[in-house]
Amino acid sequence: MTDPILKRVAVRKYTKEQVAKEDVDKLIAAFQAAPCGMHQTDVMQMTAVEDSDLLVKIEKATSNACYGAPLLFVINVKKNNQFGLRDASVAAENLMVEATELNLGSVYLMAAASNLNSAKDLQKELGIDSDYETAVIVAVGHAAETPEEDRSNRYKVVRK
Ligand SMILES: Cc1cc2nc3c(=O)[nH]c(=O)nc-3n(C[C@H](O)[C@H](O)[C@H](O)COP(=O)(O)O)c2cc1C
């Protein structure tokens, strides 16, 4: 299977290997290419975290809900905005599909995002503006597991 959309799978075990700088650049480009409601590009921001001290702080604040991944994309949206959460989800998918294309593992993290919203000082340290909240964290790294599941018929689809 070569199509990264079909190949993408939630990965929750990572090696300690860093993600190459050029791959981080490509992932950020994939984030920048995401659609947004009404072309309101100012309601979503992202902090890409590779710094080991900050990664430890995030794991602590989220009770290790980021699975020790060496790269975290913290996607933040303007509070009380009708598009923010939707924008963040499509941007997260862009990141995960691009990660798959780069032979990296990834996972969408909602629980960790909620936990981070209770850690205001850490959010400030991450450069998150006070009128924004974390909607999703996308963990990325070299996969240390290869989850497999038949994904061809998971959801009800009606064709008429
Ligand atoms: C809205 C949403 C929230 C999620 N939150 C978490 C989470 O907090 N922790 C986690 O490990 N995975 C989380 N996931 C990943 C899902 O568990 C995973 O996508 C699902 O089990 C389907 O598996 P797949 O990604 O391999 O297709 C989340 C996914 C979505 C779309």
pTM more than 0.75: yes
Interval between CA 135 and ligand 1 midpoint (Å): 13
5 located within any domain: no
Q: Whose CA is nearest to atom 25 of ligand 1?
A: 10
Residue 91 confidence (pLDDT):
98
126 located within any domain: yes
> What are the pLDDT digits (tens) for 98-117?
999 999 999 999 999 999 99
Interval between CA 141 and ligand 1 midpoint (Å): 16
5 lines ligand 1 (CB under 6 A): no
Q: Whose CA is nearest to atom 31 of ligand 1?
A: 108
User: How far is 124 from 130, CA to CA, in rounded Å?
Assistant: 7
Question: Hey, what amino acid is at 27?
Answer: L
Residue 43 is part of which domain span? 11-141
Interval between CA 109 and ligand 1 midpoint (Å): 6
Nearest atom in ligand 1 to the alpha carbon of residue 112 is 8
Is the distance from CB of 73 to CB of 97 less than 8 angstroms?
A: no
155 located within any domain: no
Does the pLDDT at position 30 exceed 80? yes
The CATH number linked to 108 is 3.40.109.10
User: How far is 76 from 46, CA to CA, in rounded Å?
Assistant: 6
**Structure-token pair, residue 70:** 């060496």
Q: How confident is the model at residue 28 (pLDDT cuts 50, 70, 90)?
A: very high
Residue 12 confidence (pLDDT):
98
SS3 content of the chain, % helix, strand, coil (to 5): 40, 20, 40
As for how many domains the chain has, the answer is: 1
1 located within any domain: no
108 lines ligand 1 (CB under 6 A): yes
84-88 mean pLDDT: 97
Q: Whose CA is nearest to atom 9 of ligand 1?
A: 109
Residue 2 confidence (pLDDT):
83
147 located within any domain: no
Chain Cα centroid distance, residue 145:
18
Query: Using CB atoms within 10 A of its CB, is residue 159 exposed (0-12), middle (13-18) or buried (19+)?
Result: exposed
17-33 mean pLDDT: 98
Phi, psi of 16 (to 5 degrees): -85, -5
136-159 mean pLDDT: 96
Q: Whose CA is nearest to atom 14 of ligand 1?
A: 108
What percentage of the chain has pLDDT greater than the value 70? 99
